[in-house]
Structure 1
């Protein structure tokens, strides 16, 4: 029996399951027709791992005539991209479907980055802190976005940017599940986990080769994405590292630093950028990140000279002057209206990151950008 891992978008609370649900060992968990009653129950089951027989899944899909597909918001499409990667990565090397899904997902993320990069950055900065177990997949998707924006800033061709995106999505093919486990655990990494991390570039390359990938630049980028030009990286400790691998390493490390873990809070965007600039000695790749994001990127929470706090909506013409949506009054009290503030004006200049981030949970992207539905 070949199993397919189920993701959140495939299951509806309150609707009978159309197939038998099993665990990773093929043991039956829920029979066809069972009804999941709450989001909490669904979340617990997803964390445990829900699988379905591939043939049973295909049979049900064949019986169901697809309804007219509604237009989806860009936020939904980013979330579905994470679902798609969670489904595709475990299938790499087993069937051609997995590699085809990676190609399709790459094109989707390139399109999303082109349609509205600010919304993509908002989603990347404002990650769902509760879903640590999906970290391996969300991290790869958002690292791909940052890599795309860096490549465009550096003037790379569309073909080279696409190859970098493919590498970003597959760099951790061998440890995506492990990354989620480590993000959720409340104790330091174990020795065996560290060993898996050190070995993962080579193991991910092996998975890609088994899947039929022959592109040398793609494979090299994945193999080298933790190498450093001073020879202190891994797994080979080489000093001659491709530009694509250096860009990917920097995007990977930056996104990791600003992502939450059970054991620690994320670094602020500003602190992560300072570390990147220091480590790279102000080189072109760290400068590309700073130019792409600005000092205060979309999703960041800032304090303004007016006394208001707000969420950054869109990058501005200057790194320090983005468009901000004020979500408090001058006394720091939450407001129901959302006023746009041009921070290039002295009255609304950003004075620094806001320290009290509790209000962020009550600011969904729809409040800032509307429904963000794009046809085509």
Structure 2
């Protein structure tokens, strides 16, 4: 049984549940047909963590597909990119359709980034901390997103944006499942795991070549994406590194730092950006990361001059004044409606970052912040 975590918007008050609701151990909490009738019960469930069998949920959704064809929200399309990547990688190396299918997936990511970059960044910053086992695939997807945004900022051609997206999606093809295991384990990396990590750039490129990938720049970017200009990288200790590989390495490391693990909390985005900027000595690529994310990227929890806590929704025209949605009132109590705050207004100016000690953001799905207006027909 594969469990999918539910968010508040997927449970309707006073409406019979269309599927069984379980906890993270698969134990049944609420049977299909049960009616959640109180806000207190809803909040208790969300705080506990509620899940549904993925196959059961898909079976229910299939009953309501409109005859004109399926329509998916932008959130579902992002989730589907991770599912698709996992399926494609598991088919390697004997997958004659892999080149065409990975090209299609890369184009979908580019399209989604263009549709709404703020939603994309929000999803990358606020990754589900309960889904460590799929980290190898979500990490590649969000690394590809960051590469798209960086490359666009640096005015790369469309062809090079496509190429860096393909490389990011496939850079860890040989260790994607291992990455999930490592993210979920509560002990340090084992020696045998470290050995696989050291050879994965070569191993991943070899898998792709067997599957029919012939683009030399794509394959070499993967082989080099852990090399460093001072020769201390791996697996070959190179000192001359291709620009594609440099971007891939930087985005890979940055996303790894801000992603959760069972053994450690994610690094704060601002700290990760400062460390990257320092390591890169203020170079063009680390500067691009900072510029595309902003000082307060979507997904950050911040303190406001009003006393409220809010989550950043959209980057502003000025780096220090993004659009924020309040998630508490001035007394620190959770609010049930979304109140937008323009932080350019001194009354709602950002006074600093806030720690999510009460797990407020786990109860604030992106649908609540951005709505469903971004629903898009499949192409």
Normalising by the smaller structure, the TM-score range is 0.7 to 0.9
Alignment of 1:299-310 (within 5 A): 299-310=299-310
Q: Is the 8 A contact 1:8 1:83 kept in 2?
A: no
**The residue matched to 1:102 in structure 2 has which SS?**
helix
Matched, 1:156 2:134: no
Alignment of 1:82-231 (within 5 A): 82-231=82-231
Q: Aligned residue for 1:22? A: none
**The residue matched to 1:136 in structure 2 has which SS?**
helix
Alignment of 1:264-303 (within 5 A): 264-303=264-303
* Superposition deviation, residue 8 in structure 1: 7.0
**Taking structure 1 as reference, are residues 296 and 237 closer, same or farther at Cα in structure 2, changes over 3 Å only?**
same
Q: Is the 8 A contact 2:171 2:222 kept in 1?
A: yes
Q: Aligned residue for 1:368? A: 369
Alignment partners' CA distance in 2, 1:363 and 1:37: 22
Q: Is the 8 A contact 2:98 2:212 kept in 1?
A: no
**The residue matched to 1:311 in structure 2 has which SS?**
strand
**The residue matched to 2:253 in structure 1 has which SS?**
helix
Alignment partners' CA distance in 1, 2:223 and 2:89: 17
Structure number with higher relative contact order (C-alpha < 8 Å, ≥ 6 residues apart): 2
Q: Is the 8 A contact 1:270 1:295 kept in 2?
A: yes
Cα deviation digits, residues 4-63 of structure 1 (max 9, x gap): xx9779xxxxxxxxxxxxxxxxxxxxxxxxxx966558979xxxxx9xxxxxxxxxxxxx
Q: Is the 8 A contact 1:92 1:99 kept in 2?
A: no
**Taking structure 1 as reference, are residues 226 and 67 closer, same or farther at Cα in structure 2, changes over 3 Å only?**
farther
**Taking structure 1 as reference, are residues 301 and 256 closer, same or farther at Cα in structure 2, changes over 3 Å only?**
same
Q: Is the 8 A contact 1:133 1:177 kept in 2?
A: yes
Alignment partners' CA distance in 2, 1:207 and 1:69: 35
* Superposition deviation, residue 332 in structure 1: 1.5
Q: Is the 8 A contact 1:91 1:97 kept in 2?
A: no
Alignment partners' CA distance in 2, 1:68 and 1:179: 40
Please identify runs of 4+ aligned residues in structure 1 that moved more than 4 A: 6-9, 36-44, 65-68
* Superposition deviation, residue 92 in structure 1: 2.5
Q: Aligned residue for 1:232? A: 232
**The residue matched to 2:312 in structure 1 has which SS?**
strand
* Superposition deviation, residue 353 in structure 1: 1.2
How many residues align? The count is 326
Q: Aligned residue for 1:27? A: none
Q: Is the 8 A contact 1:103 1:166 kept in 2?
A: yes
**Taking structure 1 as reference, are residues 210 and 369 closer, same or farther at Cα in structure 2, changes over 3 Å only?**
same
* Superposition deviation, residue 356 in structure 1: 3.0
136-145 or 235-244: which moved more?
235-244
**The residue matched to 1:341 in structure 2 has which SS?**
strand
Matched, 1:325 2:325: yes
Q: Aligned residue for 1:19? A: none
Matched, 1:259 2:259: yes
Structure 1: unaligned runs, 5 residues or longer = 1-5, 10-35, 45-49, 51-64
Cα deviation digits, residues 305-361 of structure 1 (max 9, x gap): 111111110111122211111111112211112111111222222111112341111
Q: Is the 8 A contact 1:7 1:86 kept in 2?
A: no
Alignment TM-score, normalising by the size of structure 1: 0.83
Alignment partners' CA distance in 2, 1:222 and 1:43: 38
Alignment TM-score, normalising by the size of structure 2: 0.82
Cα deviation digits, residues 249-278 of structure 1 (max 9, x gap): 111111100000000000001111111011
